[in-house]
Amino acid sequence: MKRLLLLAALAFAGSQARAEVPEVRIARQFSMGYLQFNVLEHEHLIQKHAAALGIPEVKVSSFRFNGPAAMNDALLSDSVDIVGGSPHGMFTLWAKTRGTKQEVRAITALVTLPFMITSNDPEIRTIADLGRCKKIPVPSVRVSSPAVAVQMAAAKQFGIKEYARFDTATVTMSPADATVALLSGVGEVNCTLALPPFLQQQLEHPNIHIVANSFDLMGGPNTYTVAYTSVKFHDRDPKLAQAVYEALLEATDRVNQDIKAAAKYWIEDSDSKLSVDFVAAAGTDKGVRWTAVPERTMQGADFMFEVGTIKVKPASWKDYFFPEAYGLPGS
């Protein structure tokens, strides 16, 4: 009897130990602005850094979403832990959750890159012509970086009070589907907010042209994507949070050292038919910088506050980043 009780106790202890293996659930979107996440998973970098900090086993899983709204909902419902998305999508959640246990902040930036307003209509050449766009696909209306860029374009051309002038034309659509719709030349999609590598794919076609560059609309080179999580996840296991931060830094280094390997991972994870060379070229195109340093993020936050999309104005970029990043020369 004692032996049976001992075996049962050992079995229970073993099951408890297995149940306590920490898990990191990662969410990302469809563009290639999250190459670090692909590297993290394929090269097991979270597990590597966790082990170095005394966490012998970590389960890492990943999920893919079309835009920030769905990912933010998943983060708030504790369905995912780490999200890759635009600073603008993160600002929306940060402002809503600030000061609560669900507060969301960024861990690191991922990439600074330009995206373009493109069109297949020869009469749409400038921001002033955007009223001719029937439908403008964006990852999520109002809160994604492309959607905010459309608002900035309207404000730049017509004044801040007209920031929402083109909002009724924006529709939620993945970058890949938007590219297919634009290239088809049928239907109502005659403009897109094109992101690498879909931008480069579009520009191979002579009837597609650039109308505006996001760097011009947003006052210069700016962070396109960040990795963010909840204070709850960050504080629950500080060592695991540190491991995630260090893994992201190493993943950024790996992308810079071997863009072709990162491109290969992205192609595999996205079921893309594009070639490694094509994706790698898009990932090193003019203006693209894979960096953990947040660049000009405050400009986006200030704009969203000014037009009322968020109700809290940050005093500094450090308000919406975790302390691990404070040593970076952010803005």
Instruction: Please tell me the distance from the alpha carbon of residue 4 to that of residue 287, in angstroms, as a whole number.
Output: 67
Bond preceding residue 197 cis, omega within 30 of 0: yes
Would you state the pLDDT for residue 65? 84
DSSP letters, 90-108, are HHHHHHHHTTSTT-EEEEE
> Looking at residue 8, what is its pLDDT?
40
Determine the pLDDT at residue 304.
96
Torsion sign across C-alpha atoms 274, 276, 280, 283: positive
List the domains of the chain with CATH numbers.
20-112+222-325 (3.40.190.10), 116-217 (3.40.190.10)
Question: What is the spatial distance between Cα 111 and Cα 3, in angstroms, rounded to a whole number?
Answer: 58
Dihedral sign from CA coordinates of 329, 315, 115, 227: positive
pLDDT computed for residue 3 by the predictor: 43
In this predicted structure, what is the pLDDT of residue 143?
Answer: 84
For position 144, what pLDDT does the model report? Answer: 87
Q: How far is CA 149 from the centre of its chain?
A: 15
Tens of each residue's pLDDT in the chain, 331 residues: 444 343 344 344 344 444 589 999 999 887 899 999 999 999 999 999 999 999 999 999 999 887 677 888 899 999 999 999 999 999 999 999 999 989 999 999 999 999 999 999 999 999 999 999 999 999 888 888 899 999 999 999 999 999 999 999 999 998 899 999 999 998 999 999 999 999 999 999 999 999 999 999 888 999 999 999 999 999 999 999 999 999 999 999 999 999 999 999 999 999 999 999 999 999 999 999 999 999 999 999 999 999 999 999 999 999 999 999 999 999 9
Angle at 163 between CA 186 and CA 74, to 5 degrees: 75
* Alpha carbon 54 to its chain's center: 29
Distance of CA 62 to the CA centre of its chain: 14
- Only one residue has tokens 């009724």, namely 168
Q: Are 243 and 50 in contact (CB under 8 A)?
A: yes
DSSP per-residue letters across 130-141: GGG-SBEEESST
pLDDT in tens, 12-41: 434 444 458 999 999 988 789 999 999 999
